[in-house]
Amino acid sequence: MIDDSARTQAYRHAILTNYPLFYGKTVLDVGCGTGILSVFCCLAGARRVYAVDASGAAKFARAVAAENGYSDRIRVLQCRAEEAELPEQVDVIVSEWMGHALLYESMLDSVLVARDRWLRPGGALFPERAVLKMALCTAPELALETGGAQFWRGVYDRYKVRMTCLAEVEERRRWSDLPARVCALLPEELHSHAATVCDLNLHTVRAEELRELRAPAVELQSFGRAQLTGLALWFDVHFPGGDELSTSPYVTETHWGQTVLPLEPVNVDQDSTVQCPMVMRPDPKHPRNWRFSVDLAVGDGDSRTIQWVMDGTG
């Protein structure tokens, strides 16, 4: 993840330019990994950083702290953030907790527990706000996949066996139950401005609210005539002082990419209104999987409910 410059430089810039919030202060780094955010906090003058990670990366964080001369200021704790025992409240929590579509396999729950337990009143959060966006899109990869049907039609030419019956199956299957998937969209593949699906104030949001996120009034206007094949999701997070890290298709690509909820192709005219109120929640059976449900209505047409699962395979 360190290789993701857009991500790492956004944190670096936000931390260093906010050095008054760090200088002489105490910091908790939730899910520190190899500890680069902790080192940024020391560079900004932090007196003490508690760097917490449950994985074996904790020992690398310790080595990195030492190599940078901060063994005395960075205290690495290998445990779950929920189980960390600190000797004091902290002035700042830094964490890179975001997942695809913001919340898929995200660590936000751990950050909220740490916030409620260890952040002193009035303390700062890096980031402090997270916004999930949605826009209409054409995902070219999806168009390519419909080649599956074409493939079956071509089997006769190759092997003299007819398999057109499978092309029909392929087409029926193709557009039902396609999983959400991570793509790198180009700006020209977007066909609307982005609407806000949710806007989380990380100082106040509660873990229970993340169990079901409802966006009842999402409405998108198509830029022009287009064939839509998906709804694109991405997020921005905001740091104190105005810095932000965006995963939008309009800025430098990050490892998060964008998340596309594939649609059976639908044609829209210029300025068509597309209503797409959405509900997001973890799958009750497989809580690591995330479920999206949208009541899609194009123009004056009736709405139909479409569901997707995000299971890491898309």
Residues that bind a copy of itself (CB under 8 A): 2-3, 5, 8-9, 12, 34, 36, 39-40, 43, 60, 63-64, 66-68, 151, 155, 158-166, 169
Whose Cβ is closer to a copy of itself: residue 9's or residue 267's?
A: 9
Whose Cβ is closer to a copy of itself: residue 159's or residue 208's?
A: 159
Question: How is residue 96 written in tokens?
Answer: 């890179």
Whose Cβ is closer to a copy of itself: residue 23's or residue 151's?
A: 151
Taking the alpha carbons at both ends of the chain, their separation in whole angstroms is 20
Q: How far is the CB of 269 from a copy of itself (least distance, A)?
A: 38
Whose Cβ is closer to a copy of itself: residue 56's or residue 187's?
A: 56
209 is a catalytic site residue: no
Q: How far is the CB of 270 from a copy of itself (least distance, A)?
A: 40
Q: How far is the CB of 161 from a copy of itself (least distance, A)?
A: 5
Catalytic residue chosen out of the listed positions 88, 105, 212, 219 = 105
Backbone angles phi, psi at 2, to 5 degrees: -60, -30
Q: How far is the CB of 12 from a copy of itself (least distance, A)?
A: 6
Q: Are 49 and 22 in contact (CB under 8 A)?
A: no
User: Per the omega criterion (within 30 degrees of 0), is the bond before 127 cis?
Assistant: yes
Place of tokens 């600190």: 86
Q: How far is the CB of 238 from a copy of itself (least distance, A)?
A: 21
Whose Cβ is closer to a copy of itself: residue 169's or residue 207's?
A: 169
189 is a catalytic site residue: no
Task: Give the catalytic positions in this structure.
Answer: 96, 105
